[in-house]
Amino acid sequence: MAKYVPRETTDNVNVSRDNPLGVFIKALIGLSALMAITFVVLVTLSEVFIRFMPERVNFALAKIISERIDTPEHLEAERERIQQILNQALAQTRFEGDEFRLEILETDEKNAMAFPGRTIAITTELLKELKYENELVMILGHEIGHYHNNDHLRSMSRAGILMGLVGLLEIGGAGSASSVISGTTNLFFGQYSRHQETMADEFGLTVLDQYYGHVDGAVNTFEVLRQANEKMLTLNGILSTHPITDQRMEHLEKLITQMELTDESDGLIPFEFNPEPPDDEEPEDDSDDEERSADDQTA
Amino acid sequence: MENLIGLIFTVGLIVVAYFVGKTIENRHFEALKAREREFLDLPSLTTQHSYDEEGIQDCRLVYGNVVISGDYFKMVLAALLKFFGGRIVGYESLIDRARREAILRMQAEARQFGADAVINTRFEMSKLDAMTQNQGTGMFEILVYGTAIKVNHG
């Protein structure tokens, strides 16, 4: 047998010399690019489908989705009041005579949404913030603008495609990387979402002008929305898919000047959201109120 | 918006995991080199028949085992590379460290026994994630075992 001579190994052949960080960046860019290209192709195909989608598909979607969104019973009177305002706003657009449903969602979030199937939802928290009917019409006009541009279907199809691609990554064994990939892909399309919001703002402005003959309160609506958003997240300006509130307001002011629209403050119509208390709410006695008031002060 | 916050959080975690993991790995490699120098005079061989029976004074089983897991960076890197296939760069250093560490532990046991060499050295590797139903963290056990022998020097 050969004699054993102790020798120290100086080189490690079992570990690649490639820098893992470099490999990571290359792989991330490669996979993100692949996903982005696939995403663009599928989104383009869905855009074609949405453009030529028959009206009956819209109604089928309405049935599926709207059944899941329902106004609480105690808000029904307010819903009907706002539905009338929505109908009048719709009369200013190409949707005149079409049936749109307004729903009120009871949540702490201040938001309004356009759901597929011609259902516009507005939250109680946002309604409480509004001081003028003009602001409500501006918000409803913005949401109608999303229908005008088919944004609700586009958003839904994009979300569906992204979910599908992330699912494929999971199946392909790259599940741990899927959040990075989907986040990176989203970055590319955040700008597109902001463009959609700007277009809807412009449409809302037109609705407001045709509704009242002036656009009083249009810019102020964003002040209400800004307060709502800033309370939710201070990084809103950087991360939100909505354009930064100031930019939206500036854009709207510029548009009002360009289109020579009338924007005074004397055409504002007061609005107050008056919800009835829920049926199951028990009347509180005075002693509870006093205790709560004391708690609030100490908080 | 939630996706973007998630992305920033995930990227932050990956960056922290990379630098912390890299520092720990470099220190471990340095420690491995130093300890391997200490055991240069204790050969660990895969051969089965190195000595005549009469030449062996004593023998016993010795083993060393290590449980090791990849950091978050390595896990995401492996997930990315798995999509395209090929060498999983991040795990190569991980497995190398684990094997060398297990050999050193086995040699330490052999040294305590007073062995002159370890023969018939074998490696076993098992994935512990399968036991815990967790497929994501890349947790492995490496077991190195062999026969420690004391040679008749007279």
* Residue A294 clears pLDDT 50, i.e. is over it: no
Band (B136; pLDDT cuts 50, 70, 90): low
Of A4, A7, A239, Cβ closest to residue B1:
A239
Contact A24 B3 (CB under 8 A): no
Domain boundaries, chain B: 2-151
Q: Does A174 touch chain B (CB under 8 A)?
A: yes
Q: Does A159 touch chain B (CB under 8 A)?
A: no
Q: How many CA atoms lie within 13 A of A212 on its CB side?
A: 27
How many domains, in total, are found in chain A? 1
Contact A187 B7 (CB under 8 A): yes
Hey, of A5, A8, A13, A23, which one would you mutate to test binding to chain B, going by the most B CBs within 10 A of its CB? A23
Band (B131; pLDDT cuts 50, 70, 90): low
Task: With respect to residue A268, please indicate whether it lies within any of the assigned structural domains.
Answer: yes
Is residue B110 within 8 Å of residue B118, measured between CB atoms? yes
* pTM over cut 0.90: no
Query: What ipTM does the predicted assembly reach?
Result: 0.79
Residue A144 buriedness (CB in 10 A; 0-12 / 13-18 / 19+): buried
Position A236 scores a pLDDT of 44
Q: Which of A87-91, A289-293, B67-71 has the lowest mean pLDDT?
A: A289-293
Position A71 scores a pLDDT of 87
Q: What is the pLDDT of residues A185-201, one digit of tens each?
A: 666 666 667 788 889 99
Task: With respect to residue A210, please indicate whether it lies within any of the assigned structural domains.
Answer: yes
Task: With respect to residue A109, please indicate whether it lies within any of the assigned structural domains.
Answer: no
* Residue A37 clears pLDDT 60, i.e. is over it: yes
Question: What is the rounded average pLDDT of the residues B75-86?
Answer: 84
Task: With respect to residue A286, please indicate whether it lies within any of the assigned structural domains.
Answer: no
A193 or B136, greater pLDDT:
A193
Task: With respect to residue A184, please indicate whether it lies within any of the assigned structural domains.
Answer: yes
* Residue A289 clears pLDDT 50, i.e. is over it: no
b/e for A264-282, b at 16 or more Cβ within 10 A? eeeebeebebebeeeeeee
Residues of A in contact with B3 (CB under 8 A): 182-183, 186
Contact B7 A175 (CB under 8 A): no
Task: With respect to residue A83, please indicate whether it lies within any of the assigned structural domains.
Answer: no
Position A268 scores a pLDDT of 86
When the pLDDT of each residue in chain A is averaged and rounded to a whole number, the result is 79
When the pLDDT of each residue in chain B is averaged and rounded to a whole number, the result is 86
Q: What is the pLDDT of residues B30-75, one digit of tens each?
A: 999 999 999 999 999 998 876 676 788 899 999 999 998 888 888 8
CATH classification number, B2-151, choose in 3.40.50.300, 3.40.50.720, 1.10.275.10, 3.30.110.70 = 3.30.110.70
Position B35 scores a pLDDT of 94
Task: With respect to residue A115, please indicate whether it lies within any of the assigned structural domains.
Answer: no
Q: What is the pLDDT of residues A111-161, one digit of tens each?
A: 898 887 788 999 999 999 899 999 999 999 999 999 888 887 887 788 888
**Domain that includes residue A147, residue range:** 23-53+130-276
